[in-house]
Structure formats: C-alpha cells, structure tokens
Amino acid sequence: MQFITKISVAAVSALLSSGAVHAADPTPAEWFLAGQKAVTDGKTLVKYEQKAKNVILFIGDGMGISTITAARILDGQQKGGKGEENQLFFEKAPYLALSKTYAVDQQTSDSAPTMTAMVTGVKSNEGYLSVDHTAKRGELDAAKLEAVKLQTILEQAKARNMSVGIVSTARITHATPAACYAHTTIRDWEADGDRPAGATVPDIAAQLVDFNINGGIDVALGGGRARFIPATVNDPEYATAGRRKDGRDLTTEWVSKKTKAAYVWNTAQFNAINPSTTDHLLGLFEPSHMHYEADRVKNDKSGEPSLTEMTKKAIDILSKNPNGYFLMVESGRIDHAHHASNAYRALTDTIQMSTAVEAAVQKSDPKDTLIVVSADHSHVFTIGGYPQRGNPILGLTQNVGETKPELDMLGLPYTTLSYANGSGYTGSSDKQLAGAKSFGAPEGAWAAGSEGHSPTKYSGAIGRPLLTNELVQNSNYLQESTVPLPAETHAAEDVAIFAYGPQAHLFHGIMEQNVIYHVMADALGLPKK
C-alpha cells in the first residue's frame, strides 16, 4: 500500500491509538497504519514479574460486554465523535481475559456468590457472602457459620498489616462490598432487624464496624446510612429514621473505636477530610444507595462525592501505609439502572467508573500496583439492528444510506438498545414517556427497592408503540423488552477482566471467576490458605 508513506505515522497514532474521537473518518491508509501500530504496541507490552505492593479491584456491577460497548459509544458521541472508535479508559488496559460467572447453584448468578468467588477464591451459592456452599441457607448460629467461613483477600491483607478499603455507589452493606468483609448466607441481613429472631450471626453493617483484624477496615465510602443508625434517630438528610433495632449507632462507634477516625455524610464534610491526618474514614452519603451519576449533582441537596472522588480519597488515605493496601471500588448502580430497563443511567455510571479507573492508574505506580477491572455478572442488554456508523446509541435504528429510521414488520421504528426482559415490555411502552416523567426523584421510583425495580404495570394488548427519537433519547426512557418482568434480569454470558501492573499478564483466556482471587493473592504474595 504505497499511499502509507504519504501520511504521518505520528498523526495517525495520535488520532487512533489515544482513543481520541474525531469528526472525520480515517482514510483506508490510516486504518491500515493504526492496525500496524496496534501490533507494534503489543510487542512492547511490559510484563511486571515482581510482586504487587497494592491491589485495586474495580467492579462494575452488572457491567456486561454489551454495556461496555454501548458506554464507549455514548461517551464518544457525548465528546462529539461518531462514538464507535472511542475507548473507555480501562479498555486500554494491557491485559484482558473473560470470566465465567456461574455460581455453585446458579447458571445466571447474583452479586453475592460472584463477588465471593473474586475475593475468596471459592465459588459459592446464590445470596451467600464469603461462606462456602455447604453452609445451611439462613444459618442463624454464628458458631456453625464459623466452620464454613471463607477468608477474604481483604481480611488476609489486613492480617498482614496492609491498609484496606471499600468504596461503592450502592449501600456499603450491599452484596458486592459486603462479600469483602462479611460472612452470612443471606445477603439481605444488612441491619440487625433484617434477621429472624434468635440469630447470632451478626448483621452486615455490624460486621463492617466490628471487623477486628489489626484495627479494622480503614476506609468505607458509599451509601446505606440507615443500616448504621438506630431506628430512634432521624436521618440527617431526609425525614426518615435509621433501621437499627439494637440501638447501636455504628457511625459514632466507628469514630470512638478507631484512631484518627472520621465519619462524614455529605460533600462538604467529605471535602474537608485531610487524608494525611485521617487514617479511618467512614462516609455514608445516602440512607440507601447513592445517586446515579446522572442525578447526583441535581438531586442531592446535601451533595455526595462521585465514584472518582471517593476512589481518589480512599487511595490518598490507604497509600500512606508502607505495607501497601487492598482497595475494592464498585460502581454499584450500573446494575440497578439495567434492572429498571434504563440504559442511559447504566451507561453514564459505566463512563463514571472509567474515570475512576483513570484516577487510580494516575495515582499509582504500574510497577507496584495491580489494578483489576471486572464485573460480577452481565445483564440481558443488547445492541441490535444494523444502525449506520455514528447513529445515536440511544436512538432509533437508522440504516446505512437511509434518511428515516428502520421499520419492523408492523411498520414501526425500533431502538438499537433493548432488553430481553424487564419493565420496558412493549405492551406498555406507549406509556413510557408518562412513566419516565415520574422517575428521577431521589426517593422516587429510581430509589425504590434494593434493585431499583420499576412500578410499571403491564397491559399486553397495546402492542408496540410509535416511538420517536425525542422519546427514546429522553434520559428517563425505558428500553423495550421482549418478556414483561417487574425487573430486568442478570445474564449468564462471560464478563471481561481488564488488568494493569504486577502479574496482570496472568489474566488470560477464559477463566473461572474465582481465579481472579488467586491472581491477586499470588501478586501480593499472600500465604496459601
């Protein structure tokens, strides 16, 4: 291809491999050169063979591969490009594998056994948090549970006098963060009153604050405040009470039991924390889950930090420890937006997690910090039709060379994004704009239920609606689904694992999800359990 010499290699590199978006499509020569450069770059990949001092595990809850693809396109389109050529930050990670997410008893799994696999090295059962699958479901007896506990990487790191932290936009007692520090067979036992009478297995919030290895957890930032304060005490931000029946105020206990400790619940307090003088930070920014990134600034009257801001603060506190740190960061609400059949919020939370990973990479040294980015499971979220290049990812499908959206066999337009099941069932979707307008309030439908279930009622007789681009690109639009369910479901296909730093090259091929623990433990040189 003689024309290659006519263009600047440097210009092509800047154009394509940086992930920059651009208005003009590459020429054939530019495509060819960019492909060549990817091979050249691959030959210079560095394997860091040394041990890791620190490990950061990022989890996009429910961040299947279709979610990553659609978020990449939305991000690129929001930056003014066609979108498909864009890269989320973590897509540039040097090493990649696929993770098989089934649990011992589930083909399609929930967040509890999947996170248990990633932080203990052992697969377990639906709803189980860091106990093995032989545990009796609903075990009330703490002594019996002791025998089936699985030690977590966070516990092992703390036992070695490393610092440890957990960050999530979901309740900090929700399954993904809880699997790092709590042991129970029922993921919903988040506050003491959630357990049946007679239970001696402690609730999850108590397990967080009572975590007693070497001074306990150092940083915990997320939602879930109500699980930490007594039912007799009002929430500081809303006219609601706490949920604890035992009278304990775990937020004040955190401060009184630990050294250089602080508890914060709003942005001003969070921003005032000086990482150099604070060793133990508990931040609980909502009674339940934190806001979606799309709603965070406009809906939270007292303010709450972004996932990126929480990640940075956590690293600043934890990285003071010369023994290193283990940090888990979860973008917990990608999952909730999918359950509600609202792609916009799932994708904008994914984009925010990409920014958080970028901040972590910038704040750490690839020679001593292993950074892993993965998901617990996927969702039944799909990108379909034959939309032309640059078609708005949230829009109606419009094919190459056409001036109008494609029509289905009923003569009706359809969107590129849809779900196999969920609350956007076509039988009710002519009411979606009206329904969507009721969404968005912090204590409204989006915040309802642990998974953000939609209150939509169904009528199968209506049939597909006449959709418009104005309707489907509304941020509150619920994408259509084939099967009517109150909440869209998880999906069973593999999810991606991205990795940077020491031993990152050990992520390769299609791996069982529990192998993620073993790579992290090996990188840290943790003793075999």
Query: Is residue 111 annotated as a catalytic residue, yes or no?
Result: yes
Nearer residue to Zn ion within complex by CB, 127 or 242: 127
DSSP 75: H
30, 335, 349, 494: which one binds Zn ion (CB under 5 A): 335
Nearer residue to Zn ion within complex by CB, 126 or 335: 335
Contact between 126 and Zn ion per CB under 5 A: no
Nearer residue to Zn ion within complex by CB, 279 or 335: 335
Please report how close the Cβ of residue 284 comes to Zn ion at its closest, in angstroms: 21
CA distance 99 to 184: 24
Contact between 376 and Zn ion per CB under 5 A: no
Beta strand ranges found along 145-278 (DSSP E): 163-171, 219-223, 261-264
Tokens 């304060």 correspond to: 229
Nearer residue to Zn ion within complex by CB, 30 or 61: 61
Please report how close the Cβ of residue 475 comes to Zn ion at its closest, in angstroms: 21
Please report how close the Cβ of residue 62 comes to Zn ion at its closest, in angstroms: 5
Q: Which two three-digit tokens encode residue 430?
A: 């002519």
Nearer residue to Zn ion within complex by CB, 192 or 335: 335
Q: Which stretch binds Zn ion (CB under 5 A): 198-206, 305-313, 335-343, 403-411?
A: 335-343
The residue number whose beta carbon is nearest to Zn ion equals 335
Please report how close the Cβ of residue 338 comes to Zn ion at its closest, in angstroms: 7
Rounded to 10 deg, the angle between the 111-120 and 515-524 helix axes is 30
From the number of C-beta atoms within 10 Å of its C-beta (0-12, 13-18, 19+), residue 46 rates as: exposed
Q: Which of 60, 54, 8 is nearest to 357 (CA)?
A: 60
One of 66, 111, 163, 341 is an active-site residue; which one? 111
Q: How many residues bind Zn ion (CB under 5 A)?
A: 1
Q: Which two three-digit tokens encode residue 73?
A: 């396109």
Beta strand ranges found along 71-191 (DSSP E): 95-100, 163-171
CA distance 67 to 483: 20
Build a one-symbol-per-residue string for 341-360: x at contacts with Zn ion by CB under 5 A, - elsewhere: --------------------
As a whole number of Å, the CA-based R_g of the chain is 23
Please report which helix (H) or strand (E) contains residue 40, including its range.
Answer: helix 28-43
Q: Which stretch binds Zn ion (CB under 5 A): 93-101, 132-140, 219-227, 330-338?
A: 330-338
Please report how close the Cβ of residue 100 comes to Zn ion at its closest, in angstroms: 18
CB atoms within 10 A of CB 176: 31
Residues making contact with Zn ion (CB under 5 A): 335
Residue positions annotated with a catalytic role: 111
